[in-house]
Chain A
Amino acid sequence: MLSARTLLTRTARLSNARLNSTLVIAEHDDTKLAPITLNAITAAGKLGSDVSVLVTGANATKVAEQVAKVNGVKRVIVAQDEKLKNNLPERVAPVVVASQKQFNFTAITAGSSAFGRGIIPRVAAKLDVSSISDVTEVHSADSFTRTMYAGNAVKKVKSTAPIKLLTFRGTSFEPAKEGGSGAVEKAPAADIATDASEFLGQELSKSERPDLATAKVVVSGGRGLKSGDNFKLIYDLADKLGAGVGASRAAVDAGYVPNDMQVGQTGKIVAPELYIAIGISGAIQHLAGMKDSKVIVAINKDPDAPIFQVADIGLKADLFKAVPELTAALK
């Protein structure tokens, strides 16, 4: 019994020494983990090393319990502090750097969301290394693929940086499942200055529909909808399909829908099972955000619209007639 345990400890220690370790910085809203962190954990696992997750925030302990149960997570590091409420990058970065000093990670990563893109490059600067953003494929511990030029060029790179600082595109990696039992420990103390920035508030778009970035089905509307009121056609169809709702930049700029619904190079990147583009011409910048969808359906009255070049199923029709018909047919 005793010898078995000694052996176990020794094996654990050996494997610790042999394996590199990757840190994933968790994103959450104080009550639950953001889904993109689960994709990032899967991606981090592909680097061939142990995965640790850092949870920072005013209510981090609760989220850490969820993280510890995620498959593949060996260690959860918790920094709970009122100063870390809302996880401002100026305050989270020192915690990441302090953790790096203690644990010597070979890679520090996060999902490529507004949060991840804000924190990873800032930490990279502190560690004096070059970071790589929006990785879509991990080939080895130091070689990755990402896209450029609105997804029209795919670049494979090898990083010679002593520590890899990466953000992962959520839709390119499966979410990690439950089934882990990571050890939870406290993060090392960090000097968090609070005078430089302050969180004043947020205004989140409320919706009962599934989150756009992770929805299995997405219905998107474009300029062809002609008004915000007409977007009801899109919502009705989406509700029938249990779908998330997206939009083209044209629809957002025209004020039909809020900005956070924009799909494209400068908006969200989605890759659902089914993407239905309605009244969207299919500009390069829009295609960058949805062309990895499994099945693309386009409804447009212009048969020459570029969207039809990527659509698996095209319907040349007036959306004001076709969409209500389609919604009715799904009853």
Chain B
Amino acid sequence: MKILVGVKRVVDYAVKIRIMPDRSGVFTEGVQHSMNPFDEIALEEAVKLKEKKLATEVVAFSLGGPKSAEVLRTALAKGADKAIHVQVSDAEAGKLESFHVAKTLQKIVEQEKFDAVFLGKQAIDDDSSQTAPILAGLLDWPQALYASKVEDGGSGHMKVTREIDGGLDTVKVKVPFVLSADLRLNEPRYATLPNIMKAKKKPLKNIPITELGIDISPQTQTIEVTEPPVRQAGGFVEDVSALVAKLKEKGFVKA
């Protein structure tokens, strides 16, 4: 099984973001970026499957501006064999929709014949959670979203346990398939210094998006990006009886 893993370069999860004064978006320049945490988990699972001999090759993919190469190097250091960077300008990258990412992935899958695509369940910048099911639809492959456990399902199938609203469910999907990784699928490894050095020698292929003939014209225009309403801290109460009195006052507790 040849696995393609999508990784996205996003503003680091610990950064407190700032909205641009002209309301056109969020400040990203000079801000700490890193690999989307869910993509790290997807990558780790693919590498683990390779270690278990269930996968033959793990290829990391990123669609984005020039700096996306950094997250691909990280992916190589964490165990990917090769990397593919589909390049757009930073300006174009800011306007990409999940739909465009999925179309690009579809093209790469068809060109290089992958058997599975692993993605994070959502990117922590746009919080869309769409790329995996769109890609599955485009390829007409089964989808296993929000995976928390991946096992060999026998005779060309994989068994995937998924995190759903009321608990867990388990599905069996036929390979080829698309998977999205949830938080608790695994604990991603750190890239060690020797592996970071080795990663520099691993192949990283650059493909300008224009070569793939994909239409990235937007179907969604941003009108404005604003701050959420700010909540005012209400202050402290002295003790439990004061808290109970407040709750009574607000009608949550019968007087």
Contacts and interface: CB of A to CB of B under 8 A. Distances in A.
Interface in B167-212: 167-174, 177, 182-184
Interface stretch (A13-21, A67-75, A150-158): A150-158
A125 B145 CA distance: 16
Given A133-B130, A205-B167, A284-B16, A125 B221 contact: no
B35 interface: no
B183 A155 contact: no
B129 A130 contact: no
A133 B165 CA distance: 17
B114 interface: no
Nearest to B121: A266
Contacts of A121: 98, 130-134, 137
A325 B252 CA distance: 17
Q: Chain A interface residue count: which class? A: 35 or more
B68 interface: no
A142 B8 CA distance: 28
Interface string A158-178: 111100000000000000000
Contacts of A147: 127, 228
Interface in A126-148: 126, 129-134, 143, 147-148
Interface string B140-153: 01110110100000
Interface stretch (A40-48, A55-63, A98-106, A314-322): A314-322
A193 B243 CA distance: 58
Contacts of B138: 125
Contacts of B142: 90, 196-197
A196 B141 contact: yes
A126 B127 contact: no
Interface string A46-90: 000000000000000000000000000000000000000010111
Interface string A178-211: 0000000000000000011111111111000000
Interface stretch (B45-53, B55-63, B78-86, B234-242): B234-242
A150 B172 contact: no
B214 interface: no
Interface string B207-247: 00000000000111111111110010111110111011011
A117 interface: yes
Nearest to A88: B171
Contacts of A295: 250, 252
Nearest to B184: A259
A119 B222 CA distance: 24
Contact of A313 (B38, B100, B246): B246
A241 B248 CA distance: 12
Nearest to B169: A202
A93 interface: yes
Nearest to B187: A253
Interface stretch (A1-9, A225-233, A303-311): A303-311
Given A130-B97, A200-B172, A260 B165 contact: yes
B93 interface: no
A122 interface: yes
Q: Chain B CB within 10 Å — which of A130, A252, A258, A303 has the most?
A: A130
Interface residues of B, number: 80
A153 B240 contact: no
Given A113-B165, A148-B126, A330 B253 contact: yes
Nearest to A259: B163
A190 B233 CA distance: 54
A278 B130 CA distance: 33
B109 interface: no
A285 B12 CA distance: 12
A187 B234 CA distance: 53
B252 to A, nearest CB: 5
A124 B102 CA distance: 11
Nearest to A160: B219
Given A159-B220, A260-B167, 9 more contacts: A115-B165, A118-B133, A125-B99, A130-B98, A134-B128, A134-B129, A202-B164, A314-B235, A322-B240
24 contacts: A114-B163, A118-B145, A123-B137, A129-B99, A130-B220, A131-B99, A132-B220, A133-B127, A133-B129, A148-B225, A152-B16, A153-B227, A154-B226, A195-B174, A196-B177, A197-B174, A198-B171, A205-B166, A259-B148, A268-B165, A314-B237, A315-B239, A325-B240, A330-B244
Interface of A: 86, 88-90, 93, 113-115, 117-126, 129-134, 143, 147-161, 195-205, 213, 217, 241, 249, 252-253, 258-260, 265-266, 268, 273-274, 284-285, 291, 295-297, 303, 308-317, 322, 325-326, 329-330
